[in-house]
């Protein structure tokens, strides 16, 4: 294995075709194909699945790509430290449930550590996909929550994928509502208070199990229920139809509509919010930086 072969694999994965990757690397297509075949033969794996429609990463190829990117990142750091040059575009990806503090930390990371060349991904996505992204190294770190309802199910899913969960903080459940909502006058809100209002939740796709819900009390009966896919839509509906959603209570006005407020929900429950990582892989420097920023924000 050589660094050049690792660069070839990452370039092909990003380009999507051998032809486009060869052009980007300024090498002949047969040479590129041969180099990847040699790497696959050396490690007894198939990195790319080839068909008439092009190439895609295999599951073992996704795992290999995660390691390859880490090696190239460390090499780039060494060259920058001792030779004064940064030869690689900085790459980093986070998969998270819809938390403003996760986005805020991402923005700070981008400003402080991204450098001159970078490709960063912030994926606010479904719970199952967060686990899958980190397990298959599409994301370096994932952000999600546990509580007494989903704890055993989520921890089993993490264990099956060889992932670990590390707590950031424990939050008391809060309700997000519009400032104009009649409930805004209350100091605390009860589940009974919420009954007349539409409940908003994030859609979980094919894995729409109660255990994968992003909101606690997902099994609580509700006459009016709306499912959305993104935070902007959810916040617009909180204002437009006097709806509500249940979350951690952490909200940042600079990144969200200032018409949204948070009120404590009077229930015997909690949200243990934390990050997930592969247990068998060393954290990259960028991942360490991101986690440090997260911890600073939640103090």
Domains and CATH numbers, the chain: 1-88 (1.10.10.10), 89-299 (3.40.190.290)
Whats the size of the chain, residue-wise? 299
> In the prediction, which pLDDT does 255 show?
44
Q: What is the pLDDT of residue 183?
A: 94
- Taking the alpha carbons at both ends of the chain, their separation in whole angstroms is 44
Residue 241 contacts residue 228 (beta carbons within 8 Å)? no
pLDDT value at residue 198? 94
CA pair distance 96, 63, nearest whole angstrom: 20
Q: Output the pLDDT for position 95.
A: 96
Q: Which residues of 231-268 are buried (b: 16+ CB within 10 A; e: fewer)?
A: beebbbbbbeebbbbbbbbbbeeeeeeeebbebebbee
- pLDDT by residue, tens only, the chain of 299 residues: 888 888 888 888 888 788 888 888 888 888 898 999 898 899 899 998 877 667 888 888 888 888 888 888 777 767 766 766 666 677 889 999 999 899 999 999 999 988 777 889 999 999 999 999 998 888 999 999 999 999 999 999 999 999 999 999 999 999 999 999 999 999 999 999 999 999 999 988 877 678 899 888 888 888 999 999 888 888 888 999 999 999 887 776 554 557 888 999 999 999 999 999 998 778 888 899 999 999 998 87
pLDDT at 288 (0 to 100): 92
**Which pLDDT belongs to residue 258?**
75
- Which residues are 244's β-sheet partners? 199
pLDDT for residue 21: 86
Strands 163-171, 271-278: parallel, antiparallel or unpaired by DSSP? antiparallel
């Amino acid at each position: 294995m050589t660094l050049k072969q690792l660069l070839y694999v990452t370039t092909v994965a990003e380009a999507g075709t051998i032809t486009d990757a060869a052009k980007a690397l300024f090498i002949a297509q047969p040479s590129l194909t041969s180099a990847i075949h040699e790497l696959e033969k050396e490690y007894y794996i198939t990195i790319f699945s080839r068909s008439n429609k092009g190439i895609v990463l295999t599951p073992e190829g996704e795992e290999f790509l995660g390691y390859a990117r880490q090696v190239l990142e460390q090499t780039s750091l060494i060259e920058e430290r001792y030779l004064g040059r940064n030869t690689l575009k900085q790459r980093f990806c986070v998969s998270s449930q819809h938390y403003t503090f996760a986005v805020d930390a991402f923005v700070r990371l981008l400003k402080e550590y991204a450098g001159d060349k970078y490709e960063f991904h912030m994926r606010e996505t479904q719970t199952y996909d967060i686990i899958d992204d980190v397990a298959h190294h599409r994301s370096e770190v994932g952000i999600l929550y546990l509580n007494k309802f989903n704890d055993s199910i989520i921890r089993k899913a993490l264990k099956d994928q060889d992932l670990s969960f590390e707590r950031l903080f424990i939050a008391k459940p809060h309700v997000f509502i519009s400032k104009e909502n009649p409930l805004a006058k209350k100091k605390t809100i009860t589940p009974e208070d919420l009954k007349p209002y539409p409940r908003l939740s994030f859609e979980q796709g094919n894995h729409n199990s109660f255990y994968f819900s992003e909101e606690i009390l997902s099994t609580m009966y509700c006459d009016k229920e709306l499912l959305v896919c993104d935070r902007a839509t959810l916040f617009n509906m909180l204002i437009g139809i006097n709806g509500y959603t249940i979350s951690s209570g952490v909200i940042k006005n600079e990144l969200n509509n200032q018409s949204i407020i948070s009120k404590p929900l009077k229930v015997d429950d909690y949200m243990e919010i934390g990050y997930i990582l592969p247990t068998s892989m060393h954290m990259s420097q960028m991942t360490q930086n991101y986690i440090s920023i997260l911890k600073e924000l939640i103090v």
